[in-house]
Amino acid sequence: MTDITPDTTPRSGPSSGPVTFPRLLVLLGALVLVPYGLALAQGLEIRNFYTELVTALSIAGLAAMLLQFVLAGRIGWFLRRAGLDQSMLLHRKAGQWIAALFFLHPFLLVLPRFLVAPQLAAHDIWSTFTAAETATGFYAMSLMAVLVLASVFKDRLPMRYEAWRLSHGIGFAIVAILATDHAITNGRHGVYSAWFDAMWIALCAAAVASLLDTYLWQPYRRSRRPFRVAALERASARDMVLTIEKAGGFPFAFKPGQFAWINTSGHAGNLSEHPFSIASTPQDLPRLSFVIRNLGDYSSALGEVEIGQDVYLDGPYGDFTLDTAPSQDIVLIAGGAGIGPILSLLRQLRAEGHTGSVRLIYGSRTADDVVAREEIAKAGAEMADFKATLVLEHAPDESTEQGLIDRMLLSRTLGAGQLDSAGFYVCGPPLMIRLVTRTLRGLGVAKTRLRFEQLSF
């Protein structure tokens, strides 16, 4: 798997966890409305529709912002139910709406007065921003503006990802504290019940605690479960295979197709960690292997890793796994560095003596970039019904297909049986994922039989 850009994780689709994304969205949406329901239950006066709408949006917006810490915190009990890929996708999407609501909040408050007396609008807005009692709200909004801009333009900033990540987390913790103070000192609900303000304080404390869990407690736990580098071997002109092994008797389990964040800095608390898909199978434990393509700053410096040095893993994560397969017939499609998790799936099917049909379509730029070519050929001789198709942009001979993984190739390579009933697993760069999944849908493959993992968002 390639060196994924630091702010991303592999994403699976169309659904990626015990709970489907639409259901997760509904459940969390209902959750952020609970504080408003409690406010009504405690006697919050209903004045008019507009006032209630702004009140509901304000309360739900603060609740959603505090929930963001859970979505981004890699909290085990939550991820087991929601899935990491889904929670991070929702974290990013919700963050955009929360930021917009944050910035609109003061303007929504003065909008009715603007409609009645527009000549006083400028004065009302200025008073809203400069009044002493609203200072914490102004500070929170200003800091959020800086953090949002830093997130949008982080690739252009002269700042390492690790520094951005730390500032992002601490910055939003400060925003949460300021916003909570603003809510309990200015919010209409605060005048009705002291316990309601206590609820906001408790929710804010839980959000900040989840940040401390991410930056302090989780690294401590990982420090007690170290791995060691066992081997570093070249797999192709641009790929290396990193093999690590457990340095202790602690339990570790994963499913083929999952991924983990790897920290090779030598310190479990270092924020320099990178997500890679596991290319080995559970039968290979206590060893794990990762296919890493030389594309980023980290992967290009991988040769500096020393045999025997400690590394730390955060994982496994992801749901690009065989237990979601809807059929005994499997089609594996890899593009470039996407061969990593596909190899893990293929190796597991081979180890289990899978009796259904398995088709592998592997696209690469050149023959020199192909990983595990001999192993794939051996799988063809050992598995009951396995065929592999290698697709190169520049094919050296007629033994490989030339071009891209397009409609013509898929129609020619796959039979009606695979298109009608097989489970499809697709992994590769974003553009390749979009083109292949769109083509498969056009060929009649239902979304329920199609799973993908793209190497960046």
Q: What are the DSSP calls for 63-112, one per residue?
A: HHHHHHHHHHTT-HHHHHHH-HHHHHHHHHHHHHHHHHHHHHHHHHHHHH
Q: Is the pLDDT of residue 222 over 70?
A: yes
Q: State the average pLDDT for the chain.
A: 85
For 254, half-sphere exposure in the C-beta direction (CA atoms, 13 angstrom radius) is 30
The more confident residue out of 381 and 6 is: 381
What pLDDT is stored for residue 14 in this prediction?
42
Residues 60-87 have pLDDT tens digits of: 999 999 999 998 888 878 887 887 778 8
Angle at 297 between CA 295 and CA 301, to 5 degrees: 95
What pLDDT is stored for residue 41 in this prediction?
78
Residue 60 phi/psi, 5° resolution? -65, -35
Q: Among 123-132, 158-167, 386-395, name the one with the lowest average pLDDT.
A: 123-132
What pLDDT is stored for residue 11 in this prediction?
43
Mean pLDDT across 252-267? 91
Query: Are 413 and 333 within 8 A, CB to CB?
Result: no
Q: Is the pLDDT of residue 344 over 70?
A: yes
Residue 373 phi/psi, 5° resolution? -65, -40
What pLDDT is stored for residue 210 in this prediction?
92
What pLDDT is stored for residue 8 in this prediction?
36
Q: Is the pLDDT of residue 227 over 90?
A: yes
Domain ranges of the chain: 11-222, 227-317, 322-454
Q: In this prediction, what percent of the chain has a pLDDT beyond 90? A: 40
Cis? peptide before 6, omega within 30° of 0: no
Q: Is the pLDDT of residue 16 over 50?
A: no
What pLDDT is stored for residue 72 in this prediction?
87
Residue linked to tokens 């689709």: 13
What pLDDT is stored for residue 7 in this prediction?
36
Q: Is the pLDDT of residue 111 over 60?
A: yes
CB-CB neighbours of 300 under 10 Å: 12
The matching CATH number, chosen from 2.60.40.10, 2.40.30.10, 3.30.930.10, 3.30.460.20, for 227-317 is 2.40.30.10
Whose CA is closest to 425, among 350, 306, 344, 307? Answer: 344
Mean pLDDT across 244-249? 92
What pLDDT is stored for residue 260 in this prediction?
92
pLDDT bucket at 44, cuts 50 / 70 / 90: low
What pLDDT is stored for residue 299 in this prediction?
60
Mean pLDDT across 426-443? 92
What pLDDT is stored for residue 278 in this prediction?
94
Q: Which of 221-225, 293-297, 413-417 has the highest mean pLDDT?
A: 221-225
Architecture of domain 322-454: 3-Layer(aba) Sandwich (3.40)
Q: Which of 182-196, 230-244, 313-327 has the highest mean pLDDT?
A: 230-244
Mean pLDDT across 372-388? 90
